[in-house]
Chains A and B, each alone.
Chain A
Amino acid sequence: MADLLLEFKDVNTFYGDMHALKNVNYTIERGEIVCLLGGNACGKSTTMKTIMGVVRPASGSVTFDGQVISNLATSERVRRGIAPVLEARRLFPRMTVYENLELGAYTQPRGPQFEQDLERVYALFPRVKERRDQLAGTLSGGEQQMVAIGRALMARPRLICMDEPSMGLSPLFVEQVFDIIQEINRQGTTIFMVEQNANMALSIAHRAYVLQTGEVVLSGTAAEMRENEMIKQAYLGEMQVEAA
């Protein structure tokens, strides 16, 4: 498996007193979009925190690009090419859009490369360029999500971890955001995405995992998932069936 980018091997994570991840295994290959489905409080956010090193696994290992990263600091992980798009966007509200993007590139050397990355983000999101001197807290939800994705791109990531990119966005924006996620993926960035909007996520993902109370209960290709009865039942998929 030369193409393996991120791997969880028998990871157990405790969050407070809670056994949040139980013997979890994920593999994500270079160039994939993988999505993680599950209800609230099932361990999705803990997965993200474990990848970023905000919580450390009690046992098991996390490997990125062939190297074990379970014991690295968050900053080192970002430097090695993992960037997050956080749940509810979490921009720095009292800093300008430009400063937010700058902070996205915190681990990168300042130089011509920075300007290049900035141009790439502006090209992807012309709106972000228009708003660059505005305080991030004053943007609309959709604009904030664009800045959040742009901010992640500024770190020159090989893997972007997205925590509910559709949250709180209007349907129109959700579609735009998912288009952009696909575009970023086409440009060569691997995407690992937690998403509630199962249908939307499965429409662009290559593969998916389903978490339930901290355990992976199902995994497979997106196409398989869309046909899976359990998914239909649990994640509103059944609506579609019944509606038909």
Chain B
Amino acid sequence: MTTADLILQQLINGVSLGAMYALLALGFTLVYGILELINFSHFNIFMVGSFVALMTLDAFGLKGQTVVLTGLPLAGVLLVAFLVTMVATGVLGVGIERFLLRRVRHVKGPAAMITTIGVSYILLNVVLLTTGADAKNFPNPLPAVHYDIGGAVLRLREILIWIIAFVLMGGLSYFVNRTRLGKAMRATAQDPDAARMMGIEVDRVIMTAFFVGSALAGAGGLIFGLYYNFTSASVGFVAGLRAFTAAVLGGIGNVPGAMVGGLIIGLIEASGGQLIATAWTDVVIFSILVLVLVFRPSGLFGRMAPNKS
């Protein structure tokens, strides 16, 4: 492989990872935009999503890397898997909001954030206790189709991930910018009191934000499984922190920013393995988080400065 090939390959990998982080970062950004709350439960909603996806694929008889589907069956199975996963995590997110977070929403101080930490811990440990801590083999039903671009390899998997991420993010953009409820959501993020006075049911908007954000995290969990061919109870923490960094990088509360931030983090991770030891990747990513927060707290494209009081 030449250097150019290597760069191209990392670019391909990085964009795929970035798509996953972006989907996860969007959930942080949607919820933060409205509630100014860092939702730690989001970390493990993503993880739960990867397990729901695993079980769904399992239900189709897909185990390990042995069963390969093509054509319509493949499309159908993937569609169902994405739908089931996204609805499941979406409902989980809404449940957390409705039954737990709503009760501490108006409490001053860290109560809401501590609640999300507790919820995150509960999700993690329920999965740990039911499935164990070891990594689970994630089915890969995709045929081994690939294109060689010079020395770099573009697999069907990557193309698929890109298409799915593109569709989901396009859908989200349409929802936020064009629909009535999406506009209500933006209005609520900008001024919740005024939004309420317009007759917007703020509770419903918040539930929608949790549903959409959690559903996207679920899709991210499925993509994680497809990309790495495994999942485990502990994947939520690291992926969540990286995605949070992506959201901050793009300016938290900023929807397109979260997408770009996710891509940047994905590219850093992909090239990080090459340029620096993989073991230090997280150190690099957290350092970026700290640097951005210290020197440009509103993010690269941000408008919501986090240190307003």
User: Interface on A for B, CB 8 Å cutoff?
Assistant: 52, 54, 73-75, 77-79, 84, 86, 90-95, 99, 102-104, 106-107, 110, 151, 155
Q: B residues bordering A, Cβ < 8 Å?
A: 180, 183-184, 186-187, 190-191, 193-201, 303
Establish whether residues B196 and A93, one from each chain, have CB atoms under 8 Å apart when the complex forms.
no
Q: Are A92 and B201 in contact (CB under 8 A)?
A: no
Cross-chain contact B194 with A92 (CB below 8 angstroms)? yes
**CB-CB < 8 A to A93: which residues of B?**
190-191
- Contact indicator B197/A78 (Cβ below 8 Å): yes
Q: A95-B183, A102-B183, A106-B184 are in contact. Are A74 and B194 (CB under 8 A)?
A: no
Given contacts A74-B196, A74-B197, A106-B198, 18 further A-B contacts (CB under 8 A): A52-B197, A54-B193, A73-B201, A78-B198, A79-B199, A90-B193, A90-B194, A92-B190, A92-B191, A94-B190, A95-B186, A95-B187, A103-B187, A103-B195, A103-B198, A107-B198, A151-B198, A155-B199
A223 to B221, CA, bound (A): 69
How many angstroms between the C-alpha atoms of A77 and B199 in the bound complex? 8
Q: Give the chain A neighbours of B186 by CB distance below 8 A.
A: 92, 94-95
Most buried by A among B184, B196, B197, B200: B197
In the assembled complex, the Cα of A84 lies from the Cα of B200 at a distance in Å of: 13
Q: Are B191 and A75 in contact, with the CB atoms below 8 A?
A: no
Q: Give min CB distance, B127 to chain A, whole Å.
A: 38
How many angstroms from the CA of A75 to the CA of B200 in the assembled complex?
6
**A103-B183 CB under 8 A given contacts A75-B199, A155-B199:** yes
Residue of B with least CB distance to A100: B187
**Chain B residue contacts of A78, Cβ below 8 A:** 197-199
Tell me, in angstroms, the Cα distance from A132 to B242 when the chains sit together: 39
Partner of B191, one of A52, A79, A90, A99: A90
Give the total number of A-B pairs whose CB atoms are below 8 A apart: 61
* Complex-state Cα separation, A73 to B204, whole angstroms: 13
26 cross-chain CB contacts under 8 A: A52-B197, A54-B196, A73-B201, A74-B196, A74-B197, A74-B199, A75-B196, A75-B199, A75-B201, A78-B199, A79-B199, A86-B197, A90-B193, A92-B187, A92-B190, A94-B190, A95-B186, A95-B187, A99-B183, A103-B183, A106-B180, A106-B184, A106-B198, A106-B200, A107-B198, A155-B199
CB distance from A68 to the nearest CB of B (A): 19
**Which 8 pairs of residues, A with B, have the shortest CB-CB distance?**
A78-B199, A107-B199, A90-B194, A75-B199, A92-B190, A84-B197, A92-B187, A106-B198
**Closest CB in chain B relative to A121 CB, distance in Å:** 15
Q: Which residue of A lies closest to B201 (CB)?
A: A75
Q: Is the CB of A106 within 8 A of B199?
A: yes
CA distance A29 to B191 in the complex (A): 32
The answer for the CA separation of A73 and B200 in the assembled complex, in Å, is: 10
**In the complex, A92→B199 CA distance in Å?**
14
Shortest Cβ distance from residue A106 to the other chain B in the assembled complex, whole angstroms = 5
The residue in B180, B184, B195, B198 that gathers the most chain A C-beta atoms within 10 A of its C-beta is B198
Roughly how many angstroms separate A86 CA and B196 CA in the complex, as a whole number?
Answer: 11
Q: Which residue of B lies closest to A90 (CB)?
A: B194
A80 to B303: give the CA distance in the assembly, Å: 36
Which residues on A sit within 8 Å (CB–CB) of B194? 86, 90-92
Closest CB in chain A relative to B131 CB, distance in Å? 42
With both beta carbons as reference points, the residue of chain A lying nearest to B200 in the complex is identified as A106
Tell me whether A95 and B184 are in contact (CB under 8 A).
no
Q: Report the Cα distance A106→B201, complex, angstroms.
A: 10
List, in ascending order, chain B residues with CB within 8 A of A74's CB. 196-197, 199
Q: Report Cα–Cα, A90/B193, bound state, in Å.
A: 9
- CB pair A104–B196 under 8 Å, yes or no, is no
